[in-house]
Amino acid sequence: MKTNRELTALITGSSRGIGKAIAVELASYGISIILNYIDSDDEAAGLSQEMHNNGRNVLAIKADVADRSQVKLMVARTVEEFGKIDILVNNAGITLDKTIKNLSYSDWDSVLSVNLTGVFNVTKEVLPHMIPLGRGCIINISSVIGQTGAVGQSNYSASKAGVIGFSKSCALEVARYGITVNAICPGYVETDMLKAVPADVLDKIKQRIPLRRFARPEEIAKLVRFLATDGDYITGQCININGGVFTG
């Protein structure tokens, strides 16, 4: 790859949580950042301003990854601004947790459309801009729940399992162009999603984790940064970062 200051990274769902940590981490290595968000206007504006103040090259774009027309516009604007996309991190995701008997068709469709179809939408639009470069890095954020399943999370689990399969297939298709594709499967991470879980349930989850703590978003971000800048020979992999809660 080129030097970091010549790299551009598009990170979906990057105004908060894991996505924000990834944006901050990559920017700290001199990589130009496209922040993508959908309903966190204040957070996106604040992060963008903070990064500008720190001398980072950043552009914030509001777009729903489930909406193909919005994705097309986001990618077109990115290329217009930076000329290329070297790194894509598909991080945007939502949860709508219910047991299957209580899960509505809308709950199913909404989660799959963002978490899985959104990954396809953005990747499909970005690839035509990566292929001519003869290089590129795509990192898809999956989840340990996509590997183990979880009660009340059939839609989320299915979407994240799909991300793993998509990543492996995509990696085989684009390796000839010098593009790597990998999935990262975080365990339980200290984000807003986790904060919504009742305290007694969190305690039970923590007791199942060999390292006896939840991950910090920054720890996931460091793995993304490694793949983006030093992982040129790693592709088609599902990389776990979960404190030992799942070792398959």
Report, as residue numbers or ranges, the catalytic residues: 156
Tell me how far apart the alpha carbons of residues 106 and 101 are, in angstroms, rounded to a whole number. Answer: 13
Give residue 136's identity as a one-letter amino acid code: G
Give residue 35's identity as a one-letter amino acid code: L
Which residues lie below 8 Å from residue 134, measured CB to CB, with a gap of 6+?
A: 177, 178
The number of beta carbons lying within 10 Å of the beta carbon of residue 28 is 14
Tell me how far apart the alpha carbons of residues 33 and 9 are, in angstroms, rounded to a whole number. Answer: 5
Q: Among candidates 165, 114, 111, which has minimal Cα distance to 12? A: 114
Q: Among candidates 33, 39, 44, 49, which has minimal Cα distance to 89? A: 33
